[in-house]
């Protein structure tokens, strides 16, 4: 199966959203998201999908939800993790990207091989959060510090050897 990769931006308190919106705008962060997700299957939850202004071009979007149905060329739906992974494995792209929200990240973290995480220095507050990254299972393999109006650090985590993911349980 293709590698499962989580991507998120979080504030200093791990918030990823507030009121079904992202409470910050960081120049360049959308470009980084686009670079990681372009050409790949992107699994997101229903509320994350509904918060988008339009389907994301160049990505194969799968909405994981029991109450959302779509089977278009741009957006497909799945009612379970295994169904979403099955759909994603049939689509073009070298990775399966997980783009949120909170419950989707929690479901896929045990299956992930890599995490692209942007950590802001500021607390914006929120009502949806990214799960804690288990430090005994993941290690930072790349880190980039970015200064600006909202300073942040981009980190790439890789699953450590000796800690296989939980894919066999899906």
**What number does CATH give the domain 4-169?**
3.40.430.10
- The full set of domain ranges for the chain reads 4-169
What pLDDT does residue 27 have? 81
Q: Tell me the pLDDT tens digit for each residue of 77-117.
A: 999 999 999 999 999 999 999 999 999 999 999 999 999 99
* pLDDT tens-digit map of 21-73: 999 998 888 889 999 999 999 999 999 998 887 778 889 999 999 988 777 77
Whether residue 169 is predicted with pLDDT greater than 60 in this model: the reply is no
The pLDDT of residue 166 is 63
Contact 124, 18 (CB under 8 A): yes
Residue 161 has pLDDT above 90, yes or no: no
């Amino acid at each position: 199966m293709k590698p499962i990769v989580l991507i998120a931006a979080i504030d200093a308190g791990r918030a990823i959203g507030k009121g079904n919106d992202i409470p910050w705008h960081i120049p360049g962060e959308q470009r980084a998201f686009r670079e990681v997700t372009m050409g790949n299957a992107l699994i997101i939850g229903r509320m994350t999908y509904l918060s988008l202004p339009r389907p994301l071009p160049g990505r194969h979007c799968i909405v994981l939800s029991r109450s959302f149905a779509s089977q278009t060329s741009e957006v497909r739906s799945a009612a379970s993790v295994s169904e979403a992974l099955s759909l994603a494995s049939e689509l073009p792209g070298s990775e399966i990207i997980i783009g949120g929200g909170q419950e989707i990240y929690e479901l896929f973290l045990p299956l992930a091989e890599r995490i692209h995480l942007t950590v802001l220095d500021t607390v914006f507050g929120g009502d949806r959060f990214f799960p804690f990254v288990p430090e005994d299972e993941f290690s930072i393999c790349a880190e980039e510090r970015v200064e600006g109006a909202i300073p942040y650090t981009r980190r790439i985590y890789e699953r450590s050897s000796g800690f296989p993911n939980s894919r066999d349980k899906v």
